[in-house]
Amino acid sequence: MATFRKRALDEAASHKTERYFAENRPVSTYFGQNIFDLPKMRRYMSQPAYEAVVAAINEGAKIDRKVANEIASGMKSWAVEMGATHYTHIFQPLTGTTAEKHEAFLTIKNGQAFENFKGSALVQQEPDASSFPSGGLRNTFEARGYSAWDPTSPVFILDETLCIPSVFVSHTGEALDMKVPNLKSLSALSEAGAAVASRFDKSVKAVHVNLGLEQEYFLVDSSLYAARPDLRLCDRTVIGHTSAKDQQLSDHYFGSIPSKVEAYMKDFETEAYKLGIDLETRHNEVAPNQFECAPLFCECTKAIDQNMLLMIVMQKVAEKHNLKVLFHEKPFDGINGSGKHVNWSIVTDKGTLVLSPGKTPSKNLQFLAFYAAVTKAVYKHNYLLMSSISNLNNSYRLGGHEAPPAVMSIFSGSNVSKILNSIMSTGATPEDNDVKDAFELVSSVPEIHPDNTDRNRTSPFAFTGNRFEFRALGSSANAASAVYVLNTAVAESLCEFRKEVDALEAAGCSRQNAVMKVVTKFLVESKDVLFEGNGYSKEWAEEAERRGLRAVKNVPEAYKSFLEEDSIAMFKNMGVLSPEEVQARYALLNENYVKKLQIEARVQGDMCLNHVIPSAIEYQNILMKNILGAKEVFGDEYKELCKSEIDTYRKIAGFINTISADVDALCEARKKANVVEDGALKAKLYSTEVKDMMDKVRASADQLEMLIGDELWPLPKYRELLFF
């Protein structure tokens, strides 16, 4: 057998199932031990320092530089006791991943060693980060970027390093990361939301967003992963014939978790618990070797930071288990890809979930107000929202019969729908119907109480009882990339809602009537985004188009929505991004798309020319030897005897020629695109000509995989990658 694959398979077979991080203590005794949370701050900091941090977290108050020294000193004492030797700001540049630069606490003075950590180092770091993409916001001669501590997210210790969640900005203050716009969008939403919520409860001063991020992922054996250049460099397979059995039987979904995987899950959960990440669920997903975990929801920024940290922890722990986690949206063709469902809700500082309908939703004006405002936001910016989750990775997944369709719509469920329809047609709400009765199956089984919410897996944006589930985000994405757009759109809509209610009240309308009028108006204006049916159906695609809802058909094309007047105005008016910052982000989205596809195309070409074709030739040689041998022994009869071998030889020759020509053409398509200066046009060429050529190359390579003797095939096959 091709030695590379054989060695990988042998190694994979020898990998053991073991626990490495097992704790023989209840989780509650070590939960959060590696984060510097409020109780630890109280212990390690003076009262003024503690109060300054609490005010920063709760009210967004600025931390005085003098107090920062005290905070830093407390943090350091704790971290050093915990065995930390270094500290780093950890930030989320526009690459979509996280970045860190470790600095030692150690300082030597007069020959004596000390651990030192100044307030200035806590508050700000200059990670000479000139190589991070800025979309033109920084010139190389003024390439400085600063990271600055974001106290709203807890500091933590990972691998003996004190990690300080930070924002990343240019020296003139433009956002160079995912966090800044998200923080700004939350502040806009808080202000706009409080202005509406305070109409129903005067004491409300702020609203917060809660997020629950479900994380899907694939696991593959680390040796098999290492034997596939595409997995190593692209996190997905760019060639590979489907396995005869994959997910047809739905026998993996919610199935019994394989013991190897369970050991791994328990280990990463243990490490996540120590970091205060409250993982609640784990299960098998639809595709073989695909799994999901979900933490308990929490405040938006914290949830996003925890998700980024969770992905790091999952990958680190996987190494111990000889596993690799594939967070890619579509690692394997022909089976389900992975998403990161965003459960999104709004809660007031008094603890009211404003999107919770309660027992009498028809009389719950606050619920109706927020529901209408969200509906209008999603309607007005439907294409922008879909674009915000669009990228190369997700384009391999969206629109297939597994993920939500690439067009936005809101699913409300029958109960809420009934209310909305009544409001839209009569301006008034219907009588509330009772919660569905419990039913009994057989007397020995406890009564079943059906939930009052429906499920519709085909909707990209579904109401699920007291929150919306934005289901289109890709599994590898930083959730902030889409959440800040949603927050901003809803903030804008709430501002408008409040203004219209105020105007009606000023004209003498009662509050109740004013609210109902604006709710009705908002719903009627945005009714086209409401859809209760099957989002995967052809009829819906046509219907959506008639309604003017644009589907994302081409990613670089969709990115243009960021530059549309409505988008620019929204980001500017809500104080989230300046037009220049939007422009920079737009440039980067295209750049990132091109670079990723460029890598995939190169890897594919390399794999075809250096792995696939040489194996095909080797197999041809075996066939030829057989044919020539037959000719020598049987004379002319060989033609009849070796019919199949000759036929296979010809087919292989055909594919070799096609692949060689297609890889050349792929290279030419890249060259043609690479010389184009305009970033958007370059991305467009990549998304059409380069991508199309890659599909062609793949088709032939996958055919060859079926023709060549298994022994000679050099790359671990789908069936090996997908089944332990």
- Contact positions toward ligand ADP, by CB under 6 A? 210-212, 214, 281, 294-297, 343, 345, 353, 466-467, 469
Residue with Cβ nearer ligand ADP (177 or 469): 469
DSSP alpha helices (H): ranges in 174-238?
Answer: 179-197, 222-226, 229-234
Residue closer to ligand ADP (CB basis): 137 or 479: 479
Cβ distance to ligand ADP smaller for residue 40 or 467? 467
Largest alpha-carbon pair distance within the chain? Answer: 106
Question: Under rule CB under 5 A, how many of the chain's residues touch Mg ion?
Answer: 1
Smaller CB separation from ligand ADP, 214 or 267: 214
Q: Give whichever of 486 and 612 is closer to ligand ADP, judged by the CB atom.
A: 486
Two structure tokens written together for 268: 């990463």
Contact 84, 162 (CB under 8 A): yes
Nearest approach in angstroms of CB 281 to ligand ADP is 5
- Residue 210 or 394: the one with the smaller Cβ distance to ligand ADP is 210
457 or 527: whose CB is closer to Mg ion?
Answer: 457
Please state, in angstroms and as integers, the Cα–Cα distance from residue 446 to each residue in 443, 576, 614, following that order.
Answer: 7, 51, 63
Closest C-alpha among 661, 523, 679, 694 to residue 590: 679
Location of structure tokens 């307030």:
119
**Shortest distance, position 216 Cβ to Mg ion, whole Å:** 8
Q: How far apart are CA 177 and CA 61, in angstroms?
A: 22
**To the nearest whole angstrom, how small is the minimum distance from the Cβ of residue 342 to ligand ADP?**
9
Which element (helix H / strand E) includes 177?
none
* CA 675 remoteness from chain centre: 32
C-alpha distances (whole Å) from 37 to each of 43, 77, 150, 587 are: 10, 14, 14, 38
Question: Considering the rule CB under 5 A, would residue 221 count as an interface residue with Mg ion?
Answer: no
Residue 283 Cβ, how far from Mg ion at the closest point, in Å? 8
Query: Residue 373 CB, nearest distance to ligand ADP (Å)?
Result: 17
User: Least separation, in Å, of the C-beta of 362 and ligand ADP?
Assistant: 21
**Closest distance of CB 49 from ligand ADP, Å:** 32
User: Is residue 269 within 8 Å of residue 313, measured between CB atoms?
Assistant: no
**Smallest distance, Å, CB 278 to ligand ADP?**
8
Q: Write down the least CB distance from residue 186 to ligand ADP, Å.
A: 14
Helix (H) or strand (E) holding 599, with range, is: helix 579-607
Smallest gap, in angstroms, from Cβ of residue 479 to Mg ion? Answer: 15
Q: Is 466 or 567 the residue whose CB approaches ligand ADP more closely?
A: 466
CB contact at 8 A, 351 and 207: no
Q: List the structure tokens of 312.
A: 């790091």
Among 182, 193, 171, which residue's Cα sits nearest to residue 576? 182
In degrees, rounded to 5, the angle at the alpha carbon of residue 421 between the alpha carbons of residues 416 and 423 is 95
What are the residues whose beta carbons fall under 8 Å from the beta carbon of 587, sequence distance 6 or more? 135, 136, 679
How many Å apart are CA 368 and CA 420, to the nearest integer? Answer: 9
CB closer to ligand ADP, 278 vs 496: 278
CB of 522 to ligand ADP, least distance (A): 22
The label of the residue with tokens 């308990």 reads 296
Q: What is the DSSP string of 234-301?
A: HSS-SS-PPPSSSSTT--STT-PPPHHHHHHHHHHHHHHHHTT--EEEEEE-SSTTEEEEEEPPEEHH
Question: Taking CB within 5 to 8 Å according to partner kind, which of Mg ion, ligand ADP, none is near residue 260?
Answer: none
Of residues 185 and 243, the one with the C-beta less far from ligand ADP: 185
The interface partner of residue 345, options being ligand ADP, Mg ion, none and the CB cut-off 5 to 8 Å by kind, is ligand ADP
Cβ-closest residue to ligand ADP?
Answer: 212
Q: Residue written as tokens 């890659």? A: 694
Which of ligand ADP, Mg ion, none is residue 297 near (CB under 5 to 8 Å by kind)?
ligand ADP
The β-bridge partners of 177 are: 93
To ligand ADP, the closest distance from the beta carbon of 708 in angstroms equals: 41
Pattern 135-154, binding to Mg ion, x per CB under 5 A? Answer: --------------------
**Contact predicate 90/165, CB 8 Å:** yes
CA distances (Å), 623 to each of 633, 646, 704, in order?
A: 16, 8, 14
Q: Which is nearer to ligand ADP, 214 or 221 (CB)?
A: 214
For the purposes of burial, counting CB atoms within 10 Å of the CB of 478, is it exposed (0-12), middle (13-18) or buried (19 or more)? buried
Do 576 and 184 contact (CB within 8 A), yes or no?
yes
Q: How far is the CB of 524 from ligand ADP (least distance, A)?
A: 28
Query: Residue 455 or 672: which CB sits closer to ligand ADP?
Result: 455
N-term to C-term CA, the chain: 20
Least spacing, CB of residue 477 vs ligand ADP, in Å: 16
Cα→Cα distances 206→59, 189, 477, Å: 9, 9, 28
Binder of residue 301, out of Mg ion, ligand ADP, none (CB less than 5 to 8 A by kind): none
Helical axes 480-506 vs 511-525, angle rounded to 10°:
130
Would you say 121 or 293 has its CB closer to ligand ADP?
A: 293
Binding map of Mg ion across residues 197-216, x = CB under 5 A, - = no contact: -----------------x--
How open is the CA angle 289-291-293, to the nearest 5 degrees? 160
Residue 30 CB, shortest distance to Mg ion, in Å, is 26
Query: 291 or 649, CB closer to ligand ADP?
Result: 291
Q: Which does 215 bind (CB under 5 to 8 A by kind): Mg ion, ligand ADP, none?
A: none
CA atoms 408, 413, 416, 421: torsion sign: positive
Backbone angles phi, psi at 377, to 5 degrees: -60, -45
Helix (H) or strand (E) holding 558: helix 555-559
Nearer to ligand ADP, 355 or 369 (CB): 355
Torsion over CA: 63, 65, 71, 76 (sign): positive
Q: What's the min distance (Å) between Cβ of 294 and Mg ion? A: 6
Given Mg ion, ligand ADP, none, residue 78, with its beta carbon under 5 to 8 Å by kind, binds: none
Residue 118 or residue 359: which is nearer to ligand ADP going by CB? 359
- Provide the mask over 604-633, with x wherever binding to Mg ion is found by CB under 5 A and - wherever it is not: ------------------------------
Token code pair at residue 234: 């692209």
Residue 298: which of 571, 21, 57 has the closest Cα?
A: 57
Residues interacting with Mg ion, by CB under 5 A? 214
